[in-house]
Amino acid sequence: MADARVAIIMGSQSDWGVMRSAEEALEGLGITSDVRIISAHRTPERLTTFVREAEEGGIEAIIAGAGCAAHLAGVTAAHTVLPVLGVPLEGSALQGLDALLATVQMPGGIPVATFAIGKAGAKNAALFAAAIIARSDETVREKLVKFREAQSAAVPHTPKRD
């Protein structure tokens, strides 16, 4: 976790295909991340150790992706006052709606910023973490502004007619 500014955690190897979007978005903005598989229910001790290391290591935001009865983001937030950004993932019969509700419906007192289900959420969680960092890092702020400008420039004014 030495040089990382953002931690990305996920409940299972099966989440990686989606959560890699968060890592890629951070990489694009020059923000280092530390990526781990940590399950709130399968590896609870790994979670508490990780949070301690994240706080000691200067991590500025934690992105937590999980599916099903997704309590990873909420339990992580219970252990720290670092910003926790939750990404609900598909992978159950309910196609992520279960994870969305589990992540977003935190009782008052322990906040989890919750993003869209799946890849869009993973990407936006990374961009939001960048926005947090950009408050005190001019280089990241400039990269974020350039990213927005490039995104706007890539939108055509008229549709291609096939």
- Smaller CB distance to ligand RP5: residue 11 or 134? 11
* Interface residue with ligand RP5, options 33, 39, 76, 124 (CB under 6 A): 39
Largest CA distance in the chain: 56
Q: x/- site string to ligand RP5, residues 107 to 146, per CB under 6 A?
A: ----------------------------------------
The residue to which tokens 């019969």 are assigned? 93
The residue with its CB nearest to ligand RP5 is: 11
User: Shortest gap between Cβ of 77 and ligand RP5 (angstroms)?
Assistant: 16
- Smaller CB distance to ligand RP5: residue 91 or 140? 91
Give the chain's radius of gyration (CA, Å). Answer: 16
- Smaller CB distance to ligand RP5: residue 2 or 93? 93
Within 82-101, which residues bind ligand RP5 (CB under 6 A)? 89, 91
- Smaller CB distance to ligand RP5: residue 51 or 134? 51
First to last CA, the chain: 49
Within 54-83, which residues bind ligand RP5 (CB under 6 A)? 66-68
CB 143 within 8 A of CB 30: yes
Amino acid at 20: R
Site size for ligand RP5, by CB under 6 A?
A: 11
CB 86 within 8 A of CB 73: yes
Distance between CA atoms of 101 and 21, rounded to whole angstroms?
Answer: 22
Amino acid at 96: G
Distance between CA atoms of 114 and 65, rounded to whole angstroms?
Answer: 10
| Chain residues in the site for ligand RP5 (CB under 6 A) | 10-12, 14-15, 39, 66-68, 89, 91
